Amino acid sequence: MRELLIATGNSGKLKEMVSALGNVPFSIKFLPDCPEGVRRDVEETGSTFEENAILKARTYGDRSGLLTLAEDSGLEVAALGGRPGVYSARYAGGSDEDRYRKLLGELEDVLAEDRGARFRAVVAIYDPKTGAVFITQGNCEGVITYEPMGEGGFGYDPVFYSNELKKTGAQMTVDEKNTISHRGRAMRAARDILLAEFA
């Protein structure tokens, strides 16, 4: 059974990625369990989600020698010209709440009909044996609320209201979120590639 490294240190992302991947015929390895030389952070210098996902997959894959899956994702808000985008996790210093509070502040005077947003995720699968890279993507459309709602999720979930489920990401279960989320969609497509190419 081939080993597959899921290259994220973000516990919220990891939970969603493993759930969306489901039962696959691989021995799953997690970044926090890898030696220090493998798991040290990779600087996300790309200007797009795809560039960052590939950068992380290749770097962690080359360090570990394992088939590696990495993801980059973020929130794009129409009224802010697509920001925070690739800088979603670094949009403000401090906590997730600090970041979504900054976002709400910037949208304070924006009308409800102009608060459209989408989450985007790009997953990269890298095989260090061949150098092959496979890419999948997923989007989730919604709007930014005026106040946070819900206790679950992470990141911008409390202020992102799904057009499909009619609730915020923080009000969804992990299973609900995976059915419609950008990450869930990208991961299901990645699962298909893993099974077709590597199982």
Which pTM does this prediction carry? 0.92
Give 172: exposed, middle or buried? Use CB within 10 Å, 0-12, 13-18, 19+: buried
Supply 39's token pair.
């798991």
- The domain tally of the chain equals 1
Q: Give CA–CA dist 179/189, Å, rounded.
A: 12
> What CATH number has the domain bearing residue 97?
3.90.950.10
- Could you report the per-residue pLDDT of 118-167, keeping only the tens digit for each? 999 999 999 999 999 999 999 999 999 999 999 999 999 999 999 999 99
- Could you report the per-residue pLDDT of 18-74, keeping only the tens digit for each? 999 999 999 999 999 999 999 999 999 999 999 999 999 999 999 999 999 999 999
Segments forming the whole domain that contains residue 49? 3-197
Q: Give CA–CA dist 169/91, Å, rounded.
A: 19
Q: Catalytic residues, which ones?
A: 72
Please give the pLDDT value at position 12.
86
